[in-house]
Amino acid sequence: MIRIFERASEYVKRGEPCALVTVVRTSGSVPRHAGAKMLVDTQGTLLEGTIGGGEMESRALQLARQAIADGQPRTATYHLADLQRGDPGVCGGTVEVFIEPLLPAPTLLVVGAGHVGRALVHLAKWCGFRVALNDDRAELCTPEQCPGADLYLPGPLAEQLDHLPLTAHTFVAMVTRGYPIDVAALPHLLRSPVRYIGVIGSARRWAVAADALRAQGISESDLQRVHAPIGIEIHAETPEEIAVSIMAQIIQVWRAGR
């Protein structure tokens, strides 16, 4: 059990989600009893422990994978009596499990270390996000120029993505100085499962960028993933106010708000 908790902690510290499956209640003849645990990764692969093996465990692994994907805990009850009825075993008992997704802090990738980018790094960190900062101007993408980020990725974004896994728990705020930077980076981001992509600028700027992306073969469905102009309309003017509008939209998406 100690090894399960240690490995779960290792995964979360690395920014990788996993799920803990625990037997919480049993009756009759069962392979494992209350307290038995297993740790599962995003692919539904068993990392540590077991709740009894066989078809029951296989079904629980798939539920754990779903729990990681949607971030929602769940319970499942398995009757081990009749294979013909669809039960996952014939031991004769009943097993109830609790599946708990263990999710790291969401990651915000800020692309652009200008005024808004610096304000956004500060605010996102305060909101509990893990923050990565990218700018092709290496002299601006430093702790001295923009303190507070967890990871600094100086250089063109496409060349830095190997250093930052893009997952369903990643949010991207493109607060760049010009649409050519957005056009160069967005195809790479749109091929990833990131939860949110926002692009700063006017509606006209986004229209020009979108046309350039269509010319590269980016589909309309992919373009619909982009929040542009970025943020919630609060009539923001200062960099700090704009950062508030962006974080409000990101939190809304993260918490599945409307």
How high is the pLDDT of residue 89?
62
The tens digit of pLDDT for each residue in 139-168 reads 999 999 999 999 999 999 988 988 888 888
DSSP-derived 3-state class of residue 183: helix
In a shared domain, residues 139 and 57: no
In a shared domain, residues 98 and 144: no
In a shared domain, residues 49 and 62: yes
How high is the pLDDT of residue 55?
85
- Lowest-pLDDT range of 12-16, 83-87, 106-110, 206-210: 83-87
What distance in Å separates the CA atoms of residue 183 and residue 181, rounded to the nearest whole number? 5
The tens digit of pLDDT for each residue in 27-80 reads 988 888 999 999 999 999 999 999 988 888 999 999 999 999 888 999 999 987
Domain that holds residue 62: 2-102
**What residues pair up with 96 in beta bridges, in sequence order?**
25, 77
In a shared domain, residues 111 and 94: no
In a shared domain, residues 229 and 169: yes
In a shared domain, residues 58 and 117: no
Total count of domains within the chain: 2
Q: Which of 102, 136, 165 is the last residue before a domain boundary? A: 102
In a shared domain, residues 133 and 180: yes
In a shared domain, residues 6 and 89: yes
Q: Which of 52, 86, 102 is the last residue before a domain boundary? A: 102
Q: How far is CA 159 from CA 121, 143, 209, 239, in A?
A: 21, 20, 21, 27
Output the pTM of the full model: 0.78
Q: How many CA atoms, within 13 angstroms, populate the side-chain half-sphere of residue 40?
A: 29
Q: What's the CATH number where 211 sits?
A: 3.40.50.720
Q: Tell me which residue of 232, 224, 236, 172 sits closest to 199, measured CA to CA.
A: 172
In a shared domain, residues 226 and 246: yes
Strand pairing category for 18-27 and 94-102: antiparallel
Q: Which of 102, 121, 140 is the last residue before a domain boundary? A: 102
In a shared domain, residues 120 and 214: yes
In a shared domain, residues 13 and 30: yes
In a shared domain, residues 230 and 113: yes
- Lowest-pLDDT range of 87-96, 113-122, 134-143, 146-155: 87-96
